[in-house]
């Protein structure tokens, strides 16, 4: 009888142990968002993403579910477009209540990578902070395809997967280590699943 009771309790309680309650931001009126709670299978995340394009800066806060690979800190510098990501993960109920500050802007380092202006990818950009890798990415939105090159932090390059399908945008991204190494094709594939859709949405608005 005790065994039956124990098994019944396990059946009732175990599924609940597999879910985690996390805070989540949901878009509201233009420029606003609402904080709700949601069930997550793995971890909670909170963080700040900063996008700087053409001298205009936009800061976005993020609270939602996550997996370990999405808990990254680093930046991408594509010349006219710079993005920094500071995402922290945790694994207890409603642990993502705090605000995570944006990353401070890094100083130029000794690394340089090729960058693209329109269809010309012969220019260079000076990498900043911990950006020690060069990237090359082709982003496709509808019938439009755009090549982008620049600098990236190691943490962003090692966070990825080989393909991307999000919000109707597909693309590929490759990283390499070494000064101006992103002029050649066929380097090791890697992908930051959070940044490519974000960059795509900005470029194709």
Say whether pTM exceeds 0.85.
no
48 forms beta bridges with 61, 86
Residue in 152, 149, 148 with CA at minimum distance from that of residue 177: 152
Is pLDDT at 20 greater than 70 in this prediction? yes
pLDDT tens by residue, 109-158: 889 999 988 778 889 999 999 999 998 887 766 677 788 899 988 888 77
**Both tokens of residue 117?**
């202006």
């Amino acid at each position: 009888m005790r065994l039956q009771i124990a098994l019944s309790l396990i059946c009732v309680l175990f599924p609940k142990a597999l879910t985690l309650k996390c805070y989540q931001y949901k878009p509201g009126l233009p420029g606003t968002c609402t904080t709700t709670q949601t069930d997550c299978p793995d971890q909670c995340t909170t963080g700040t993403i900063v996008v700087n394009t053409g001298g205009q800066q936009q800061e976005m806060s993020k609270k939602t579910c996550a997996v370990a690979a999405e808990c990254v800190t680093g930046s991408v510098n594509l010349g006219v477009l710079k993005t920094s990501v500071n995402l922290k993960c945790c694994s207890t109920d409603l642990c993502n209540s705090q605000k995570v500050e944006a990353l401070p802007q890094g100083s130029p380092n000794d690394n340089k990578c090729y960058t693209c202006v329109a269809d010309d990818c012969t220019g260079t950009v000076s990498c900043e902070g911990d950006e020690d890798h060069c990237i090359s990415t082709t982003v496709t939105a509808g019938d439009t395809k755009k090549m982008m090159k620049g600098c990236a932090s190691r943490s962003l390059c090692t966070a990825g997967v080989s393909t991307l399908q999000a919000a109707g945008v597909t693309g590929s991204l490759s990283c390499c280590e070494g000064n101006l190494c992103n002029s050649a094709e066929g380097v090791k594939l890697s992908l930051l699943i959070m940044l490519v859709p974000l960059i795509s949405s900005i470029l194709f608005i």
